Amino acid sequence: MKVAQELRQGSTIRIGDVPFIVMKAEFNKSGRNSAVMKLKMKNLLAGNIVDTVLKADDKVDDIRLERVTAVYSYSDGDNYIFSNPETWDQIELTEEDLGNSINYLEEEMTVEIQYYEETPVSVELPTFVEREIEYTEPGLRGDTTGKALKPAKLITGFEIQVPLFVEQGEWIKIDTRNNTYVERIKK
């Protein structure tokens, strides 16, 4: 059992007889209103996408999917191709299957691919990844508080918010659960 608030992209749950994988999870709380989770989920049996809202404290059955380690190879335009380094089997996933993971995908990157029965259904990223800033506006060296933020673009084109003191070309650690900057790192 899990409470809805714990659900993240890649979480797998069962409602009734139907297994779902969470593709997007958004938490909201307003004053005295119930804290709520808005979820975009894929029905793992029918393949359709559903939007649903749960109270943050609603209990859901979590299910554990098979995981296989794989390496990202390339995209053929429609699909994203991974390979299993042990069997050399090719694994294909769609953009929809990848969800937020697509923002951090780089060639030769090792990921965990989740299977529901015989079908690959999603990619699980490491909680933290290290990425180089491809572009950001010049920073303010004096500002070390980290409170003020600015956009910074990664090689994949994905933008995240970083503190003003972070410079173009620097490497940063990112929390992939919520796409947030953690710290600068030396490479």
Contacts with another protein, residue ranges (CB under 8 A)? 15-16, 20, 28, 30-34, 36, 38, 50-55, 58
The minimum distance between CB 56 and another protein, in angstroms, equals 10
Structure tokens at 178: 């919520």
Please say which residue, 8 or 55, places its beta carbon nearer to another protein. 55
The minimum distance between CB 20 and another protein, in angstroms, equals 8
Please say which residue, 15 or 105, places its beta carbon nearer to another protein. 15
The minimum distance between CB 7 and another protein, in angstroms, equals 12
Structure tokens at 79: 């699909």
The minimum distance between CB 50 and another protein, in angstroms, equals 7
Please say which residue, 51 or 76, places its beta carbon nearer to another protein. 51
* Residues whose CB falls within 8 Å of the CB of residue 77, separated by 6 or more in sequence, listed in order: none
Please say which residue, 40 or 184, places its beta carbon nearer to another protein. 40
Main-chain phi, psi angles of 84, to 5 degrees: -85, 115
Q: Whose CA is closest to 71, among 95, 58, 55, 87?
A: 87
Separation CA 171–CA 187 (nearest Å): 7
Separation CA 4–CA 50 (nearest Å): 16
CA dihedral 95, 20, 22, 25 (to 10 degrees): 130
* Residues whose CB falls within 8 Å of the CB of residue 155, separated by 6 or more in sequence, listed in order: 106, 131, 132, 134
The minimum distance between CB 178 and another protein, in angstroms, equals 17
Please say which residue, 36 or 111, places its beta carbon nearer to another protein. 36
